[in-house]
Structures are given as C-alpha cells and as structure tokens.
Amino acid sequence: MKKFRLFTISFIVILSLLLAVLFLVFNENNKLDCNNNWAFCSINKQDNYNSLKDGKVIKIAIIDSGIDEKKARVQVEKRFSDDNKTKDILGHGTAIASIIASKRSFQDDFEGVYPRGSIYDANVLDENGNATIEEIVSAVEWSISQEVDIINMSFGVENDDDRLHRAIKKATDNNIIIVAAAGNTLGMYTEYPAKYEEVLSISAVDEKMNLFKYSAKGKINFVAPGVDIEAIKIGNLSNQETLSGTSFATAYAAAIIAILLDENKIDNENYQKTLLEYAHPVKGKENDPSYGNGLLKIK
C-alpha cells in the first residue's frame, strides 16, 4: 500500500512539474517579440489580451477572397457563400482574418490582434482578387443582415458606383463601422469605398513610420502597420516571407477598432470623433495629409 501511495505522490509531483514547464514554455513562446512582429509593439498590443476576457465579443465581417478557418486559426460564425468554403486560392482573405483574429498556437509565435473576434466570411473575391459590384453590394447587404459591428474591406475599386455607395450608407445607418483600404495606387487617388465620407480610409506605414511607397494619397483617415507584416499565408501568398500593402493596414485598423469597441472606449455611433483620441500623430508628419489623423493605436 505504501508503495502505491509513494508511486501516486511521485506521479502527481512529476505531472505538476511537467505542466509547470509547459506553461512557462508556452508563455515564453507567446511573448511579443518586437524584432519579429514590429507591428504589435507599434500599436501597444502587449497588455490587451487578458483584459478582454469579460468584454462583449465584436462581430467582424471580412469581405474578401474567403477564409480557411483551420489554417487561419479563427472561428468563422457564418459564410456568405458555401462554394469552395475552405479554398481561399488567393490567400488574401485568410491572411486578413489571421491578422485580425488568429488564435495562439504551439505551431508558431503568431497571434492576431483580436483573437476573440467573431468572424463572418463574406467570400466574394475570386482567385485573382476580383468581384463584380453586384457581388460586393450583396456581401455588404449580407453583412448588414448578420448585424455585424465592423466590415473590413481590404480592397478597392477605381470608380464610384451609386449601388455601392447606397449599400455603404445603409450599413453605416445601421451603426456598422466600415474600414477600407485606401489603395496601392502609387501615390495617386484613394479608391472606393475608402473614398466615401462614411468609410474609414486606411493607409500603410512601415516600422520607421514611413508611408508605404505604393500607398494612395487623397482621403485618408488613419495609418496603421502595413509593411513587412506577419500573417498566416496560404495559396498565392504562401511563398511570400512577409506582406505589404494598405490591405493589411486595414486589417490592423479593424482589429484595433474591435478592441476599442470591446472595451467600451468607443461606440458604433460616435466613433468618427472618439477614434481621434487613439490616433497618434507621426513625428515630423503631423501636417502631412497622407497620414490622415495619425497612427491608430489601442491606447
């Protein structure tokens, strides 16, 4: 009997020590490394993961090329289309989703900005990143029907379209915050829907706060990290070491806004004004309209 008790006690001690070691290793692996993910540190991500446990879950629609939820490590609540639902051939939607809401894993040290986000996959872009205006409008209207809090549109079109603008207005009238990429137009025009007054237009900066060389100029509300960005890459993006563009800056902006909504620091009605409190002027660029109101941060 004594031998059995001793064995049981020894087993419990060893198991406890093993669990403690695994916990320390897991925590060490998940510490933010600014050298490997400069973007997290630039937006003050470090202290915000645990503080969100008791908050409300923010619903984010991603209008894009689809999301491979298993590889992106996100929870997709619903999809706009069931066609090829796990086949994001382009890889763009999966990368955007991972930046916004990827969960921690032992596989790597990558994590999204807002891992508890509730994701709605408005998968309309094809393998080349194209969609008709009708398809985009349908995705916006579907997002409205799902009563999401945020719509992420990491793409744009050159020309205005009344059908698109009406759909955008309908969404914002329903207190949905729309965040869209300003565009990679070689310093030229801002694309639609980012150009609409109702939409938050996002441009991209690098680690040194320089504007992305292809960023659009025109109507810009905020800048966010968008050069040499870490993300989960599949499909046509799988061979790229890092990602750059206003698309990825938009994902960062959407996730930051989700956290601020979660923490009740902003609301869906007065966000245009209150978001200015979380926009930090870039040193030396305070009066440069290409930076909008500055770098969007969590705090």
Q: What is the mean pLDDT of each run of 10 residues along the chain (299 residues)?
A: 56 53 45 72 66 74 96 94 74 97 84 95 94 97 98 97 98 98 94 98 97 96 96 92 96 97 91 93 92 94
Q: Are 196 and 9 in contact (CB under 8 A)?
A: no
| Separation between Cα atoms, residue 62 and residue 253, nearest integer Å | 13
Question: pTM value?
Answer: 0.87
pLDDT for the residue 26: 43
pLDDT at 234: 92
Task: State residue 23's pLDDT score.
Answer: 43
What is the structure's pLDDT at 17?
56
Question: According to the model, what pLDDT value does residue 5 have?
Answer: 59
| pLDDT at site 222 | 97
Residue-level pLDDT at 11: 54
pLDDT at 20: 46
Strand partners, 211: 205
- Given this model, what pLDDT does residue 31 score? 54
